[in-house]
Amino acid sequence: MSGTRSAGERLETLAIHAAGRSDDATGAVTLPIHLSTTFERSPEGSYPHGYVYTRSGNPNRDALERTLAALDGGAAAAAFSSGSAAASVALRSLLRPGDEALVPDDMYHGIRRLLLEALQPWGVRITRVDMSDPVAVANALTSETRILWIETPSNPLLKITDVSTIADLAHRAGARVICDATWTPARMLPAFELGADIVLHATTKYLSGHSDVLGGALVVREVDAAFEQIRFLQGYEGAVPSPFDCWLTLRGIKTLPYRLRGHLANAEKVAAFLHTHPSVAKVYYPGLPEHPGFDVAQRQMSGFGGMLSFRLRGGEEAAVAVAAKVTLIRRATSLGGVESLIEHRASIEGADTLTPRDLLRLSVGLEHFDDIIWDLDQALGSA
Ligand code: PLP
């Protein structure tokens, strides 16, 4: 994951140092948590340290935003109190009533609901398309299309989108590309190099990495009028992370490149195990050569990710039984933390879910892979 960057620009180093030196006043090596909501003016009325009020800016949030922008190679970042808040601000900054958004047929269900239940009633047309099919995308683009939403691998079917091809189509049609890179942080998917205009992260997941803090971010390729609008909504609506949330997220980020290596290596082994298990009907993991997106994933990603889904020959009943029988892996929603999580996805996605009912989604954690495989094996035993 280090690539050919020069000293100080490699991801492992950026993750630790991109925020800059911590505290000139005390020499503290980690940035203190600045809980103050307000900052004092000088007698002449200026704000000598650049901060006025924490909703519009705070040293901990600045440090997090600098780091997030550096990790993606973006021009700037805006941090939010959740990935969903970041998504909502991005959508409302780029879309107006009468516009169209092209979105994947398989995507994180919470953002799908925001699109259908908040943006659509506001007058935005939402068109769902198979983003893994460039012909379908080309046919779906209209003169009203303003944004294309990409999530690759998608949640929970791990469909792969060829980002540079789709970004090219979008840009020729005058639309912008927002890429939800929650599953592929730290340039596992180099979204800007591939043509994305805005990268979204639920920092709740891999970036913070320990299932203990919610957060989101928008990273932009350039600081333009759309970013000014993002900053406006960030500061005036105030869906911002607290200084402690920023501090926790930054602490997680420091080990991100090393954690990702473990997640990826474990997921590849778990996918290979499930792929040959007699109770498993199908494994969705882009690192398996049988996956229809294998070639594209290999070309555009620096790893196949830590997430996978699988379907049970015994149907929904078997899927629910397997989730009930795991002892080490936790039955919980979310992903990207150090602990492996398993989830019967259809039952959390709501009535209109398209997710197969015999599908389980697995966030492969950092336990020893033999222990994860042992747990799955014993749970699958009677499936
Ligand atoms: N994007 C993806 C791919 C997600 O999986 C999630 C949450 O699960 C989100 C966005 C939303 O993030 P948050 O839960 O922080 O609002």
What pLDDT does residue 21 have? 81
CA of 4 to the centre of ligand 1 (A): 31
Q: Which of 180, 245, 358, 375 is catalytic?
A: 180
pLDDT above 70 for 2: no
Give the ligand 1 atom nearest the CA of 183: 3
Q: How confident is the model at residue 1 (pLDDT cuts 50, 70, 90)?
A: very low
CA of 15 to the centre of ligand 1 (A): 21
Give the ligand 1 atom nearest the CA of 203: 15
| 180 included as an active-site residue | yes
Q: How confident is the model at residue 118 (pLDDT cuts 50, 70, 90)?
A: very high
Q: Which of 205, 221, 259, 345 is catalytic?
A: 205
> For residue range 323-373, what is the model confidence (pLDDT) as tens digits?
999 999 999 999 999 999 999 999 999 888 889 999 999 999 999 999 999
Residue nearest (by alpha carbon) to ligand 1 atom 12: 83
Q: Which of 10, 55, 282, 330 is catalytic?
A: 55
pLDDT above 80 for 75: yes
| 285 included as an active-site residue | no
What pLDDT does residue 4 have? 56
What pLDDT does residue 382 have? 67
> For residue range 283-331, what is the model confidence (pLDDT) as tens digits?
999 999 999 999 999 999 999 999 999 999 999 999 999 999 999 999 9
> What mean pLDDT is reported for the chain?
96
Residue nearest (by alpha carbon) to ligand 1 atom 14: 83
Percent pLDDT > 90 in the chain is 94
CA of 200 to the centre of ligand 1 (A): 10
SS3 annotation, the chain? CCCCCCCCCCHHHHHHHCCCCCCCCCCCCCCCCCCCCECCCCCCCCCCCCCCECCCCCHHHHHHHHHHHHHHCCCEEEEECCHHHHHHHHHHHHCCCCCEEEEECCCCHHHHHHHHHHHCCCCCEEEEECCCCHHHHHHHCCCCEEEEEECCCCCCCCCCCCHHHHHHHHHHCCCEEEEECCCCCCCCCCHHHHCCCEEEEECCCCCCCCCCCCCEEEEECCCCHHHHHHHHHHHHHCCCCCHHHHHHHHHHHCCHHHHHHHHHHHHHHHHHHHHCCCCEEEEECCCCCCCCCHHHHHHHCCCCCCEEEEEECCHHHHHHHHHHHCCCCEECCCCCCCCCEEEEHHHCCCCCCCCCCCEEEEECCCCCHHHHHHHHHHHHCCC
| 55 included as an active-site residue | yes
> For residue range 171-199, what is the model confidence (pLDDT) as tens digits?
999 999 999 999 999 999 999 999 999 99
pTM: 0.97
Ligand 1 neighbours (beta carbon < 6 A):
82-84, 108, 110-111, 151, 155, 180, 182-183, 202, 204, 214, 216, 334
